[in-house]
Structure 1
Amino acid sequence: MNSAAIDPLTDPKAYIASLVARSRAAQQAIEHYSQEQVDDLIRAMVWAVAQPGVAEEVAQFTVDETRLGNYEGKFLKIQRKTRATLADIIDDKSVGVIEEYPDRNIKIIAKPLGVIGALAPSTNPEATPVIKGIHAVKGRNSIIIAPHPRAKLTNKKICDLMRSALKRMGAPEDLVIGIETPSLDTTNELMRQCDRVLATGGGAMVSAAYSSGTPALGVGVGNAVITVDSSADLDDAAEKIRISKTLDLAASCSSDNSVLLIDEIYDDMLQRLQAQGGYVCSDEEKAKLQATLWDEELHINTAMVAQPVDRIAAMAGIEPPEGTQFLIVLEDGFGPEHPFSGEKLSVIMALYRAQNIEHAIELTRNIQAYQGQGHSCGIYSNDDDNIMKLAASTHTSRVMVNQPQAASNSGNVWNGMRQTFSLGCGSWGGNGTNHNVSWRDLINETWVSKPLAENKIVPSDEDLFGGVRDKLA
């Protein structure tokens, strides 16, 4: 069936069926590729978009089309994040026997899933297709990418670059297909017809992925909460909070939405945040921001998302001083009556005063119970007891310690987290996994089990049940 002959708007089912047929044929062509062949393909896919000259062009093109974020943030994602992700997985064994457990006499063989249906958000449309694409192909799958309509040209540009590289490597270019006329209907059809959904985007779209009838890997809502305790290096913390808060103008759901300062260092740390370009809004300015950022039903104003401070200020009718890089609103509550406690997707940060680490943990739990439960939180601290208390007592899948949250929780060169843009949030966020989603989530596994040299022995009742028997007598 010729995809070009089908109107995706009038017949989305047939249109997606034609794309899936092409994608499946391409996947079957590489199903028996060697590890070396697979790894060369993903090297080519990254080089096609991240090479000097092209990365700059893609970054500017993305900003021009989406009007979200800034050139510097887009360039870092397309030029460095894609390279770091490739480096993170290039030495992984994804073909043949990938794990062995000699003590259990078990071997695990990797096999492809088939056609991956991927959703790409408007906030990260430059690197998401590449990162999801190489994770898919690493598992010898093909991928069809459904972009947000606001980023459809960026998605086409990036997919075309990867397709050209695949073709030049002698592989089917249809290993990567981008939907060029995106709509809710085509996205829903893709999720119904593919073999595995990899969903990154708004909560409604992730919910639709889980309801599609196709096995899905989704991510929860972000709303990162950051604690700074009295043992922290305050200058380092202030700089890293600024880096995280302003990266790509807070397009990432991992941007620092709320920062909790322990009472003992509150004033000193606030001064340092101001020195980093933070401006503390008055009560009147906070009210103006709130009225501009949300409507009465707390739907976020998309015109405020990932915009420069001066544009946000102009829309809200406030006048922060020159040199302001992010806005600080003082907050003490959480929930819908305190919307600044939620995700803002903008260079606006809520600031809280916490009495001690226990109070910071309580605030974190309450803030993320409103939005962002299961996603991420962070702490600037040199006190291992405080770090582990926070980690043990919060409903979070990731705790970034002394690192800029937005640049770290999806993996970076300074930590060991898996490189991805798909962050599982566990049952807290309505997801099936807590970890950073990678190629390992995009394969089938065959477990080969041989008899043990000696049978296992079931322990005696005394050893197996211990004192429980007496308690239940």
Structure 2
Amino acid sequence: MELLDKDLLSLQETRTLISKAKKAHDIYKTFSQSKVDSIVKAVAEAAEKEAVRLAKMAHEETGFGIWQDKVVKNTFASRVVYESIKDLKTVGIIKENDADKYFEVGVSLGVIAALIPSTNPTSTTIYKTLISLKSGNAVVISAHPNAKGCIIETTKVLSDAATKAGAPEGLIGVTTMPSLGATTELMKHNDTALILATGGEAMVKAAYSSGTPAIGVGPGNGPSFIDKSADVKLAVKRILASKTFDNGVICASEQSIVVESCMKEAVKEELIKQGAYFLNEVESKKLGKFILRANGTMNPQIVGKSVESLAKMSGLNVKEGSRVLISEETTVGKNNPYSREKLTPILAFYTVDNLESAIKLCIEILMNEGKGHTSTLHTEDKEVIKAFALRMPVARLLINTSGTFGGLGATTNLIPALTLGCGAIGGSSTSDNIGPLNLLNIKRVAFGVKEQEEITGNITSEVSSTETSMSKDQLELIIRKVVEQLSALS
């Protein structure tokens, strides 16, 4: 009987996928912009066509979220992302500036290692594949073990469409036997050009520690401040719609609501009217025990669960039809689960005395977790917007819109994306919403506009002038001393 080591098989599979992807890229990088675009279009159309089936697969396999909302995410990742990138120049000369006498050439990187989270498995696979292909790269999908079935099927849909449209075999690959060793091999392999990492903090750190260039994004923990100038009803509608979408699994969704004391009752009343359930102290403690694990990380059992499931899990008897559970809090810290990221319909509610206190509290929440990611602000006061813009440690400050769809670039004019950079403060290599141009090397071809002598001559002249000036001063000082000495002798 032949015994096979699954870990060794997963390593071999990963190496084979990378080898095939590299060979495919060697062919693909010679394709024209129009040929690349035709392949990207075919892949996007195939993904959109299967949006419903893949959404149901993701929900059934992971148990996270709401399948109907996953259809929206799959459609966003295919149709909306495609529409935003279809006209981008990514092959050959991508920009010409005759006035300043330079032009830019797009150079694909090679093989992209795309790490996929279990929270948004099919949509992230579609999105990362599209932006990788648009930028002229091959891609190897690293499937999350808890969502490998739907990720593998999504990749098959994309790969089949690409091949039919003329892409070389192996341009899109996926690990069918995911393991820690396989992911490590994919990240550290010499033929991996870039890691595109979306997932847990540990995984993102591993990507940056691999020795391979990486774009990774960590957790979100966005506070939402409702200013006294805001339309409260509209602000609450946006926040609850965002937090309940796919049961809160998108990291840009709101995690806390912050209000001034003068607004507290009005906001609470509107939240309750729109379906929020405020927990009492006993209920908050019961639910709080399920938010974090002993090691201080989010409990996966709560991720993407409905209010009904959360209540049942923690032994709560909440009002039927409640959309979100809210706990009133006064502290922020690693040990306060409500002040952390909660990828589920749970919100913290904070009350402060004034605007300055609100700004400081929002900063404290973000620095506790989620720094660099996203924050939302509901206001009609431009000075309040400026105050937050200057001080919030985030890459995205979203005004009068939802965290989920605003951050993804659906209800804002940000680049439509499912990977949101957090900047250096958040441990990320960029603060961008990641698009095809982040997966390119850009070669600059610059023409000379001055002769070297024009630069060196001016500087030499300035130096000489300075030296001459100094010599005169020194001479005058000597003459003065001589005159003083002669006067003393007379």
TM category (shorter chain) comes to over 0.9
2:112 to 108, 113, 116: 116
Note the C-alpha offset of 1:81: 3.6
SS at match of 1:182: coil
- Whether 1:242 and 2:278 are equivalent positions in the alignment is no
Note the C-alpha offset of 1:32: 1.6
Q: TM-score, normalised by structure 2?
A: 0.89
- Whether 1:420 and 2:420 are equivalent positions in the alignment is no
Q: Is the 8 Å Cα contact of residues 247 and 304 (structure 2) preserved in structure 1?
A: yes
Counterpart-to-counterpart distance in 2, 1:269 and 1:461: 66
* One-letter amino acid matched to 1:325: R
Note the C-alpha offset of 1:153: 0.5
Note the C-alpha offset of 1:11: 4.5
2:429 to 429, 432, 436: 432
Q: Is the 8 Å Cα contact of residues 164 and 173 (structure 1) preserved in structure 2?
A: no
Counterpart-to-counterpart distance in 2, 1:79 and 1:365: 34
SS at match of 1:327: strand
Q: Is the 8 Å Cα contact of residues 12 and 189 (structure 1) preserved in structure 2?
A: no
Alignment of 1:193-272 (within 5 A): 193=189, 194-272=192-270
* One-letter amino acid matched to 1:424: G
Counterpart-to-counterpart distance in 2, 1:296 and 1:444: 43
In structure 2, relative to structure 1, the CA distance for the partners of 1:461 and 1:316 (3 Å cut) is farther
2:446 counterpart residue number? 449
2:87 counterpart residue number? 91
Note the C-alpha offset of 1:231: 0.8
- Whether 1:347 and 2:351 are equivalent positions in the alignment is no
Note the C-alpha offset of 1:272: 1.0
Counterpart-to-counterpart distance in 2, 1:7 and 1:461: 73
2:325 counterpart residue number? 327
In structure 2, relative to structure 1, the CA distance for the partners of 1:301 and 1:82 (3 Å cut) is same
Deviations 1:403-454 (A, max 9, x none): 1101111211x32101111111111111111111111111112111111167
Note the C-alpha offset of 1:7: 6.2
2:35 counterpart residue number? 37
In structure 2, relative to structure 1, the CA distance for the partners of 1:401 and 1:36 (3 Å cut) is same
Counterpart-to-counterpart distance in 2, 1:271 and 1:306: 26
Counterpart-to-counterpart distance in 2, 1:418 and 1:359: 32
SS at match of 1:378: strand
Note the C-alpha offset of 1:103: 4.2
State which drifts further: 257-266 or 277-286: 257-266
State which drifts further: 162-171 or 200-209: 162-171
1:186 counterpart residue number? 182
Q: Is the 8 Å Cα contact of residues 8 and 186 (structure 1) preserved in structure 2?
A: no
Deviations 1:339-372 (A, max 9, x none): 2111111110001112222111100111111100
- Whether 1:159 and 2:155 are equivalent positions in the alignment is yes
Deviations 1:15-34 (A, max 9, x none): 32211110111111111211
User: How many residues matched?
Assistant: 454
Counterpart-to-counterpart distance in 2, 1:11 and 1:58: 27
Counterpart-to-counterpart distance in 1, 2:290 and 2:217: 27
1:144 counterpart residue number? 140
Alignment of 1:310-325 (within 5 A): 310-325=308-323
Counterpart-to-counterpart distance in 2, 1:150 and 1:428: 30
Structure of larger gyration radius: 2
Counterpart-to-counterpart distance in 2, 1:124 and 1:46: 17
Residue identity (%)? 33
1:471 counterpart residue number? none
- Whether 1:360 and 2:358 are equivalent positions in the alignment is yes
Give unpaired runs (5+ residues) of structure 2.
464-490
2:469 counterpart residue number? none
Counterpart-to-counterpart distance in 2, 1:354 and 1:402: 20
State which drifts further: 297-306 or 115-124: 297-306
Counterpart-to-counterpart distance in 2, 1:57 and 1:134: 19
Q: Is the 8 Å Cα contact of residues 373 and 420 (structure 2) preserved in structure 1?
A: yes
Q: Is the 8 Å Cα contact of residues 68 and 123 (structure 1) preserved in structure 2?
A: yes
1:306 counterpart residue number? 304
Q: Is the 8 Å Cα contact of residues 102 and 446 (structure 2) preserved in structure 1?
A: yes
Q: TM-score, normalised by structure 1?
A: 0.93
2:63 counterpart residue number? 67
* One-letter amino acid matched to 1:435: D
* One-letter amino acid matched to 1:281: L
* One-letter amino acid matched to 1:159: T
Counterpart-to-counterpart distance in 2, 1:26 and 1:183: 24
Counterpart-to-counterpart distance in 2, 1:213 and 1:448: 29
Note the C-alpha offset of 1:185: 0.8
State which drifts further: 198-207 or 79-88: 79-88
Q: Is the 8 Å Cα contact of residues 217 and 422 (structure 2) preserved in structure 1?
A: yes
SS at match of 1:214: coil
2:290 counterpart residue number? 292
Q: Is the 8 Å Cα contact of residues 216 and 421 (structure 2) preserved in structure 1?
A: yes
Counterpart-to-counterpart distance in 1, 2:8 and 2:41: 38
Q: Is the 8 Å Cα contact of residues 406 and 412 (structure 2) preserved in structure 1?
A: yes
Deviations 1:164-215 (A, max 9, x none): 1112112224211111111111111100111110000000000010111111
* One-letter amino acid matched to 1:386: V
Counterpart-to-counterpart distance in 2, 1:196 and 1:296: 34
Counterpart-to-counterpart distance in 2, 1:28 and 1:299: 42
Note the C-alpha offset of 1:72: 1.9
Note the C-alpha offset of 1:279: 0.2
* One-letter amino acid matched to 1:122: S
State which drifts further: 309-318 or 299-308: 299-308
Q: Is the 8 Å Cα contact of residues 112 and 140 (structure 1) preserved in structure 2?
A: yes
* One-letter amino acid matched to 1:345: L
2:275 counterpart residue number? 277
SS at match of 2:122: coil
Counterpart-to-counterpart distance in 1, 2:153 and 2:60: 13
Counterpart-to-counterpart distance in 1, 2:425 and 2:53: 39
* One-letter amino acid matched to 2:41: R
Q: Is the 8 Å Cα contact of residues 8 and 15 (structure 1) preserved in structure 2?
A: no
Deviations 1:138-162 (A, max 9, x none): 1110000102111100111110001
* One-letter amino acid matched to 2:37: D
- Whether 1:170 and 2:166 are equivalent positions in the alignment is yes
Counterpart-to-counterpart distance in 2, 1:23 and 1:296: 41
Q: Is the 8 Å Cα contact of residues 100 and 107 (structure 1) preserved in structure 2?
A: yes
